[in-house]
Amino acid sequence: EAEKKRLLETLKGKESITKAGRKVKLYANIGSISDLGSVLKNDAEGIGLFRSEFLYLGRNSLPTEEEQFEVYKRVVETMAGKKVIIRTMDIGADKQADYLNLEEEENPALGYRAIRICLDRPSLFKVQLRAILRASVYGNIGIMYPMVISEEEVDQIIEIVEEVKKELLDADIHIGEVEQGIMIETPAAVMISDKLAKKMDFFSIGTNDLTQYTLAIDRQNPKLDKIYKPHHDAILRMIQMVVDNAHREGCWVGICGELGADTSLTEKFVEMGVDELSVAPALVLTVRDVIRNLI
């Protein structure tokens, strides 16, 4: 075990590249600013999923633009030019914030959540977008939108982002270049990924929710553990479909769900053409080791 750990240590500073020379971007998922130390220590090449929910949870009111800006700025500065992909507010379902006054729902996982709230309440969405765009001058930011199911939603998002950019420019506030992408975590997004790819720079496949909807199984329901199969052929086929559709449009594709760190699938993902894996910081070096041993 100690030997294994020592070997992984030697992989710090090395590339995540197969023996055949195929590079994979190996990023980390983080859920708060306190995870940053672990990201650096484990030599992640970027942050593939910055869950912004911690800014919204455990408090009595919405976080202000200034509060958010300070956090995003600190993260991108700490990452010093490496990519930081910030996922916009993914509240709803099992993550509730009382001050948003969300109603009780019969099936919260199939409910009013994430981008649905943001597009329904654009003023709330715009505060987060302003904070992210302002932070973008300090580093290399990507913005990622959760739970998208349609082209109409993407069009609305783009329109709102353009509005915010214009407001900032009109106020002489500088912004950097940002990539925009969506989580692919609904079967709908998979099936129309060819169309969505034309409008976005990248996709990140959220295998947890995607599996939940594809198998129609609440992954937190212990009664169904027996039939919940993360390696289900339907999921692997969806991933291939998304990669193929994305690459045809010059869009890159990552995986940020738990499956991304499943080393029994790393070889398959590389064969499929997956460009990025975003995993828990503590798993970065383990996955790098597997990639470097692939032929």
Binding site for a second copy (CB under 8 A): 94, 103, 105-112, 116, 147, 149-150, 153, 186-192, 195, 209, 212-218, 220-221, 223-224, 227, 229, 232-234, 237-238
* CA dist., res. 90 & res. 142, Å (int): 16
Our CB check for a second copy shows the closer of 67 and 218 to be 218
| Residue 273 binding: pick among a second copy, Mg ion, none (C-beta 5-8 Å cut-off by kind) | none
For residue 81 the two structure tokens come to: 């030019």
For residue 128 the two structure tokens come to: 């987060």
How near is the Cβ of 97 to a second copy at its closest, in Å?
A: 16
In angstroms, how far is CA 167 from the centroid of its own chain?
26
Our CB check for a second copy shows the closer of 120 and 163 to be 120
* CA dist., res. 145 & res. 184, Å (int): 9
| Residue 111 binding: pick among a second copy, Mg ion, none (C-beta 5-8 Å cut-off by kind) | a second copy
How near is the Cβ of 29 to Mg ion at its closest, in Å?
A: 12
How near is the Cβ of 64 to a second copy at its closest, in Å?
A: 27
Place of tokens 């082209």: 151
How near is the Cβ of 293 to a second copy at its closest, in Å?
A: 31
How near is the Cβ of 212 to Mg ion at its closest, in Å?
A: 9
How near is the Cβ of 208 to a second copy at its closest, in Å?
A: 12
* CA dist., res. 277 & res. 279, Å (int): 6
| Residue 170 binding: pick among Mg ion, a second copy, none (C-beta 5-8 Å cut-off by kind) | none
Using Cβ positions, the residue closest to Mg ion within the complex turns out to be 209
Q: Compute the radius of gyration of the chain from its Cα atoms.
A: 19
| Residue 206 binding: pick among Mg ion, a second copy, none (C-beta 5-8 Å cut-off by kind) | Mg ion
Our CB check for Mg ion shows the closer of 43 and 185 to be 185
Alpha helix (H) residue ranges in 121-214? 122-135, 151-170, 187-191, 193-197, 207-214
What is the binding site for Mg ion (CB under 5 A)?
185, 206, 209
Would you say how long the chain is, in residues? 295
Cα-Cα-Cα-Cα dihedral sign, residues 72, 130, 68, 251 = negative
In angstroms, how far is CA 217 from the centroid of its own chain?
22
